Structure 1
């Protein structure tokens, strides 16, 4: 934009010289120097305070799919890059050992209930021990709890989608053994129920940003278009501000001001939720300060939208 304004000013000087309003001299062309200072100090520096611009990215949560039970995969029930509904089965695990465990506990429970009933009959006739009765009652309750857990394990042999989304890099195949371990992932699931727009704004340009500020966004994938929105909030913490309890003294680190993350919501929520995660663009945030610079930013964001036709 600075180059564009400079070209316009040069063209204006050229016209004024041609119509003899200004002489064609070094003093006339020297007007470029104060003009540049005026643009930089009067508009482009305050522009970053009143209407900062930054890259914007469409983000989606990624859920690592780790099964709750271990076993051999018997069937993979989804295709990669196909929309999946919440609760839809992803893959199944051989249930044989979990069915056997459940059946064994059910058999024990049936016997324990029979013994409990017999003990109750004896207690009514004052022919049995109260301690034996209480022991059978505890045994029945314990087995019922174990059966509940065994049934849950059996149900977990069918692994289901935690929410609406897609599986992109699907490498899981029948016959592969999966385990329930913290660092193991059977597949990576992308949650598409909510697409988040995030922009990283330099710290010295972020001080005037508030929730509700008007935003205009362009996307590389949609050249020539400008979408309206607003600031939801600025994330109140960053990794640089995290104090980790390691049990050691503070380790000196190099200090560098990292950007702050601003969450943005488009007015067209349907379009936002159709964005492919990773979609890149530019966001212009119009604060309540230095409003005279907003016009320049509006021109710049539209120029950026047009340049998206050719600029990678």
Structure 2
């Protein structure tokens, strides 16, 4: 663009020399050259400093890699490439047969588990009855043993109860005590099994219900739908391909129908004047002679050239030699670029600040001249 300004000045000088028939001598030619150096140099400095320009600008968009959540054979592809779709529209389907089988298995297991809950309750009630019976038996044998022991002590050598009978009663009492302990343990076990709940649901039932929910989710994921409004482009997916849920190998790229920004890479010293909300203009290589207006939406707060990550490797000094440019996002006023050109078109951009606004006219003229050159060059 600076070359355009120099050529314009040269053309004006030639026209003045021709129209006014100024002679070419040692005074007029150096004067025109030196005047051009000062005038053009001052204009270029003022223009580049206060109204920055970049030849590196491009529209950026985000694509969504479509990866299946389950593994299976693709049975049908229902989306057409480069045709807009709505959120929730079917993109492709995976064979649901194995997932339906798993759902049936889990449904049967859930029904069986739900039927086991009354059985657990009955087992618990039975163990409670066993505890009551063991308690009564323990009390009976304990009373008999106490009566024999008391009679043995009271009768002395003349007691009608022999040592053998007393020992039998004691052994019966100890056996009933052990039986009561075992019944209590069984009652505790059956009670814990019956009362083991999560949010009021038996744990086994809840576990199988979770497995059924997972199986139903997997079955639902056999139908892959559009995550938002948008379209699929450059699609190579065909029926018969085995879909694998691998994030590094997507089956198709989905372009959401969302707001896009035009990004330009400006010199770092442009930050002295660039501010959010400044007027901006964009020209495209694909649209010679057209100028698209907008404003600065955002000056990105970080530059990739200064990024460091913990990798265990030393940083080369060459990394410090990469100066980099500041990325500025430009929000265009209308959807002319979005509606008439493919996503990702490249061009050039200029930003006009409120400093030396009269110089901005020259920048606008030069930008349009550069746009006209796109008829010839690319």
Same fold, TM-score > 0.5, yes or no: yes
Work out whether 1:304 is the aligned partner of 2:370. Answer: yes
The answer as to whether partners of 1:57 and 1:280 remain within 8 angstroms in 2 is yes
Structure 1 or 2: more helix by fraction: 2
Using the TM superposition, name which of 27-36 and 129-138 deviates more.
Answer: 129-138
Match of 2:235 in 1: 170
Q: How large is the RMSD of aligned CA atoms in angstroms? A: 2.1
- Check conservation: 1:60, 1:277, Cα contact below 8 A: yes
Partner of 2:92: 91
**Contact 1:58–1:276 (CA under 8 A) maintained in structure 2:** no
Q: Does 1:44 align with 2:44?
A: yes
Structure 1 unaligned spans of 5+: none
Give the stretch that moved more between structures: 40-49 or 109-118: 40-49
Following superposition, the deviation at residue 122 of structure 1 comes to 5.2
Choose which of 289, 313, 323 in structure 2 pairs with 1:224: 289
What is aligned with 2:191?
A: 130
Indicate which of 208, 215, 221 corresponds to 2:280: 215
Matched, 1:276 2:332: no
Partners of 1:90 and 1:161 within 8 A in 2? yes
How many Å apart are 1:26 and its aligned residue? 2.6
TM-superposed deviation, 1:248: 3.6
Aligned: 1:28 with 2:94: no
Contact kept? 1:192, 1:273, Cα under 8 Å? no
Structure 2 segments unaligned to the other structure (5+ residues): 130-186
> What's the TM-score, normalizing by structure 2?
0.76
- TM-score normalised by the chain length of structure 1: 0.91
Q: How many residues align?
A: 307
Whether 1:267 aligns to 2:323 is no
CA distance in 2 between partners of 1:287 and 1:120 (Å): 80
Larger Rg, first or second structure (1 or 2):
2
Whole-angstrom CA distance in 2 between matches of 1:289 and 1:29: 34
Query: Displacement of 1:121 after TM fit?
Result: 5.0
1:247 maps to what in 2? 312
1:218-249 alpha-carbon deviations (Å, 9 max, x no partner): 22333322222100011111211211011344
Identify the match of residue 10 of structure 1 among 3, 11, 14: 14
> For each residue in 1:137-156, what CA deviation from the matched residue of structure 2 results, as whole angstroms up to 9, or x when unmatched?
11011111111111111111
For the 8 Å contact 2:305–2:322, the answer to whether it is kept is no
